[in-house]
Structure 1
Amino acid sequence: MSSSTTETEISRKVQSVGGSSFTVSLPKEWATDHGLEAGNEVFLYPHEDGTLILRTCERSDGTTAPDLSVDDLSEDRLPWVVYALYVAGEDRFTLRTTDRFTSAERRAITTAGNDLVGLEVDDESTDAVTFRSMRRSERLSVGQTVLNLRYVALSMHRSATNALFDADSDRAREVLQQPEDVDRQFALVSRCVERRIGLPRGPNRPNVDRRTALDYYAIARELEGVASCAERIAAVALELDDPPTGTAESELADYARRSRTVVERAVEATINGREPETAYDALDRCETLAEDFDLLERPSYDADEIDSYYAALLFDALDRTADHGGRIAERALKMGLREE
C-alpha cells in the first residue's frame, strides 16, 4: 500500500475489501503513540465540511455531569466556575466542598446560576450545589439568540442617545445597568457554539454547522461592542448639565441613527436568508458614514451647544458603533457568499 508523509499531513490510498466498505491504514508510529493495537476500536465523526475525525476514545455526548471540588477557591471565584461550566455547554454540573459552604459562598454560587439564561438549581445540600439546564439544547437557535442580543444592544444605544438629548439622567443610569443583559445573551451564544463544536452529531447538538456557529460568535462579540458604545454615550449624558442643542444636536442625532442602521442591516444579512445584497448595503452605509466622520474631523460647536470635549467622546462612540456594524456586515457577506 503506498503512502506519503509530510510534517503537516499524512496521505493514504483508499483500498476496497468488499462490497460494503473501504479501508485506510493508520500510520504505525501514530497508532503506537496512541496505544492502539490490532483489534482495538476507534471512533469516527463525520462533519458537514467533509472532514472525518478519528478518535481513540468515544467523545462525550454531553450527558456526563461534572462534579467539581471547589475547596481551594475563594468566594469571589466561585461564580466564574459556574459561568465557565455553563458556557462550556454542560447540561448538569455540581460544585462540591469537603466541609460545608458558608452562607456567602452558597449565595455567590446560586446568584451566578440565576443570572444565566436557562440555568436553575436542581439540588442543594450543605456541601454541594447542583445546577441543571431548563431548556433542551436542540431547541436553542444560535441565530435567534444573536437577534436577541442585537435587540438588547440597539435598545441600549437608542435609550442612551435619548437620555442624552432629553437630559434624562434616570434613563442614562438604566442604560449603565443593562450590561448584565448583554452578558447573559452573550453567554448563551457562547454556550450554543461550544455545544456545536464539542458534541458529536446527535440530538443534544444545536442544528447549525461549525463555521456558521463560529460566525455567530464573532457577530455576538461585535454586538457586545455596540452595547459598550451605548454605555459610553450614557456616561457622557450623566456628565452633561444640559443636552446638546442646535447643530450639535442635529448632527449627533443623525450619526446615531445612521450608525444603528448599519448594525441593524448587518445583522439582518446574517439571519434573513443571508442575502449578500443586504450585507453590501450595510457596508455601503458604513463606508458613507465613515467618510462623513472623516470630513467632520474634530467637531467644533458653539459653547452653548455642547462642550467640544464631550462632542469628541460622543462622535467617537458613534464611529465605533458603525465600525462594529461594518465588521458584522463583512462577516455576513462571507456567510452569504459561502452558501452560493
Structure 2
Amino acid sequence: MVFIETRKIQQTGGSTYIVSLPKRWAERAGITTGSQVTLQPQQDGTLNIAAEGTSRTQKKKNIIDVNGCVGDDLVRLLIAAYISGSDMIELRASRIQVDQKKIIRSLCHKLIGPEIIEETANSVLIQDLLNPSEVSIKKSVRRMFLIANSMLNDAMQALKDHDLDLALDVIERDDEVDRLYLLISKQFRTVLRGSRLPDTSETTIDEYHDLRLSASSLERIADHALKIAKTAATLDTPIPEDTMELIESSCTTSSAMVEDAIDALYNQNTDLANQVIEKVDGTKTRINELNASLLDLNSPEAIVALGTVADSIDRIGEYGANIAEFAINLSMAMAQNK
C-alpha cells in the first residue's frame, strides 16, 4: 500500500527551504544521519528524491526454473525477464539441455546489454551490463526510424532490381530494430516503476509513453519492410515496368507519411501530424489501383507475392498515421504541462 504524506516547507538561514523525509521511507532506503540523497527535477515540476547510489548498486535478480521449457516458450520467458528490468537472470534446471543453451546464447546476442557471466550444467547466470547513462529513448526511437526507413528503401530497390544480396541484407537488419524495440520497452517499464533514467529530467512520462507507442509502430514497419525483402528474394517472375512504377510511387507516399509523422512527434507539430492522417484515404485509393493492376499479370505467383507487397505498403502508411496521432496526443499533453 502506498502512503501519501504531507510535509510543511520551512525556511532556515533566511534563504534555504527545508522539508523532513518520511521516517518509514528513510529506514527502508537505508538513510541515516549523514546519508546523502540525490535530487532530480522533472519536467512536470516534480522532484525525484533517491538514496545516493541505490539506482544501480541494488541489483534485481530473477531466478527462473527452465525445466522442460524449450523453443519459443523459452525465448518468450527470457524476453519477459529482460523487459521486466532484471539486472541478473539466473536460469536453473536439473540439467540445462544443449538446445536450451543455444537459445539462451542466441538471445543474449540479440538483446542489448545481457551477457552470460557464469554457466554450469544446471544453471546459467546472465547479467545486464548496459550502462543506462549511455542510452536515451529519444535517440533509440530515432535510430529505429532510420533503420526501418533504410530497410524499406532497400527492400524496394531489391524488388525492382531482383537484387538477392540486398534483400538478404535488409532481412538481417530487422534484428537491430527488434533489439532497440525491446530496449525501449524495458526502459518504459523502468520509468513506470518510478526508477530514474539518465534522460528523465529532460523527458516527461508523457513523452516516454508516446515514444514507446511509436516504437511499436516502427517495429511493425520494419516487419513489413522485411516481408517486401523476402518477396524480393524469392520472386523469380519479372515485374512489368508500369506495375513497378505503381509499387514505387505507393511506397514513396507511405514512407513520406512515416517520415513526416516522426518529424511531427519530435517537434510536437500538430499541423504536420494532421496532414499525415489526411493522406490515408488517398494512399488507400492508390493501393486499390495497384491491386487492380496486379490482376492483369500472367503469373499467379506474382499476383500473390506482389499482393503481399501492396498490403505491406498500405500497412506502413497506416502505422505512419498512428505515429501522427501519438504526436497530436503528445503535443496536447506537453501543452497542459507548461
Common topology (TM > 0.5) = yes
State yes or no: 1:227 paired with 2:225.
no
**1:311 deviation in Å?**
4.2
Q: Give the Cα separation in 1 of the matches to 2:23 and 2:7.
A: 21
2:276 to 257, 279, 282: 282
Q: 1:154 to 1:298 in 2, by over 3 A?
A: same
TM-score, normalising length from structure 1?
A: 0.74
2:101 to 99, 106, 118: 106
**SS of residue paired to 1:41:** helix
Q: Give the Cα separation in 2 of the matches to 1:332 and 1:15.
A: 36
Instruction: Kindly report the root-mean-square deviation, in angstroms, between the aligned alpha carbons of the 2 structures.
Output: 3.8
Q: Which moved further from structure 2: 279-288 or 157-166?
A: 279-288
Query: 1:107-146 residue pairs with structure 2 within 5 A?
Result: 107-146=102-141
**SS of residue paired to 2:211:** helix
Cα distance per residue 1:202-242 (max 9 Å; x no partner): 76978632222121121111112212222332333344323
Cα distance per residue 1:36-56 (max 9 Å; x no partner): xxx99369xx9866899xxxx
Query: 1:188-337 residue pairs with structure 2 within 5 A?
Result: 188-201=183-196, 208-271=203-266, 273-293=267-287, 298-300=292-294, 302-303=296-297, 307-337=302-332
**SS of residue paired to 1:298:** helix
Unmatched tracts of structure 2, length 5 or more? 12-17, 27-40, 48-53
Residue 147 (structure 1) aligns with? 142
Q: 1:137 to 1:289 in 2, by over 3 A?
A: same
Q: Give the Cα separation in 1 of the matches to 2:169 and 2:199.
A: 37
**SS of residue paired to 2:124:** strand
Residue 8 (structure 1) aligns with? none
Q: Give the Cα separation in 2 of the matches to 1:192 and 1:15.
A: 30
**1:143 deviation in Å?**
1.4
Q: Give the Cα separation in 1 of the matches to 2:332 and 2:8.
A: 40
The letter for the 1-side match of 2:161 is D
**1:287 deviation in Å?**
4.5
Unmatched tracts of structure 1, length 5 or more? 1-11, 23-38, 53-59
**1:149 deviation in Å?**
1.3
1:82 to 78, 96, 101: 78
Q: 1:69 to 1:201 in 2, by over 3 A?
A: closer
**1:286 deviation in Å?**
3.9
- In the TM superposition, structure 1's runs of 4+ consecutive aligned residues that sit over 6 Å from their partners are 14-18, 202-206
Q: Give the Cα separation in 1 of the matches to 2:250 and 2:261.
A: 17
The letter for the 2-side match of 1:338 is A
The letter for the 2-side match of 1:146 is V
Aligned pairs, number: 305
Residue 165 (structure 2) aligns with? 170
Cα distance per residue 1:71-103 (max 9 Å; x no partner): 534233443333222111223332234x44344
Q: 1:158 to 1:67 in 2, by over 3 A?
A: same
Q: Give the Cα separation in 2 of the matches to 1:263 and 1:80.
A: 29
Residue 177 (structure 2) aligns with? 182
Is the CA contact (8 Å cut-off) linking 1:136 and 1:204 kept in structure 2? no
Cα distance per residue 1:138-171 (max 9 Å; x no partner): 4321111111211222222122211111122333
Is the CA contact (8 Å cut-off) linking 2:66 and 2:91 kept in structure 1? no
